[in-house]
Amino acid sequence: MRLLKQFGAVAAVALAGSLAVGAVRGNPFLTLGLGLATAVLALLTYAWVVRRTERRAPVEVAGKGAGAAVGRGLLIGVGMFAAVIANIALLGGYRIDGMGSAAGALALLGFMAAAAVTEELIFRGILFRIVEERIGTWGSLVLTGLLFGLAHLFNAHATLWGAIAIAVEAGGMLAAAYAATRTLWLPIGLHFGWNFAQAGVFGTTASGRTGPEGLLDGVLSGPTLLSGGEFGPEASLYAVLAGVVLTIVFMWLARRRGHLVPRRRRTARTDPTATLAQ
């Protein structure tokens, strides 16, 4: 029940924010403001519902060290995408046709902030964390990663390969980032940095979604496995490889720090006749 209550509370904020942002998408300043407001409200709602349903302090979103952790995640996410797009460009799959739109990048800043925060709260803060208690870190990583990939099948230009790529490179990597740090700030920063670099900086399609122009007018071409096709660079083998590498690194850190949770074993049922015999 706590999973359902937490999911329902954060999902309601995410839906309301998405509708509000969609209604003013033509205005970059309102989109920025509403996106940031959605992110803040979702964090406050998560902290409140965790306190109510689990009777504990939500340490995974504690304010201490949050800025530094988000900053580290941001650098990793931007650096990761820059490496992916550079490799695609070297083989002729990406080119820049000129400058894009600063106003569009501003709107994407708010939109991507809301998406990164709400998705991390739902998929890592709620689903991964609670499921992990039952089936362990590795099992939860696989299961919630698949769910994260399947959720992207509803996006425009979605394909089964694109969903699988998202599940591997993002679903697994972001869950591993949480397991390694036991806070949501690093995965939030990583998620935002990756998404904003895609659409807001390099001007490519993010998870099949088209929206405002980014800072650059980027064009993808060539085989889908190289460039990602209409779904965007996230469906590129380069992105999958980068995600797998970071997943391995984060899970190594989680193991080294003693953060891995084993699968819960079923307790054997007590034999009442044995008890009476004693």
Q: What average pLDDT does this structure show over 49-61?
A: 96
pLDDT at 274: 36
- What's the whole-number mean pLDDT along residues 173-182? 97
Average pLDDT over every residue of 16-36: 89
Q: Is the pLDDT of residue 277 over 70?
A: no
Query: CA-CA distance, 132 to 121, in Å (whole number)?
Result: 15
Give tens-digit pLDDT for 95-106.
998 898 899 899
What is residue 209's predicted lDDT score, i.e. its pLDDT?
Answer: 67
Give the pLDDT band (50/70/90) at residue 208.
low
pTM for the model stands at 0.91
> For 112-128, what is each residue's pLDDT tens digit?
999 999 999 999 999 99
Q: What percent of the chain has pLDDT over 70?
A: 94
**Higher-pLDDT residue of 215, 264:** 215
Query: Which amino acid is present at 213?
Result: E
Per-residue pLDDT at 273: 34
DSSP string of the chain? -HHHHHHHHHHHHHHHHHHHHHHTTT-HHHHHHHHHHHHHHHHHHHHHHHHHHH-S--GGG-STTHHHHHHHHHHHHHHHHHHHHHHHHHTTSEEEEEE--HHHHHHHHHHHHHHHHHHHIIIIIIIIHHHHHHHHHHHHHHHHHHHHHHHGGGSTT--HHHHHHHIIIIIIHHHHHHHHHSSSHHHHHHHHHHHHIIIIIS---BTTB--S--SEEEEE-S-HHHH-GGG-GGGSHHHHHHHHHHHHHHHHHHHHTT-PPPPPPPPPPP-HHHHHH-
Q: What is the pLDDT of residue 150?
A: 92
Q: How far is residue 230's CA from residue 217's CA, in Å, rounded to a whole number?
A: 15
Only one residue has tokens 């007590």, namely 270
Residue-level pLDDT at 245? 96
pLDDT in tens, 32-47: 999 999 999 999 999 9
Residue 268 has a pLDDT of 39
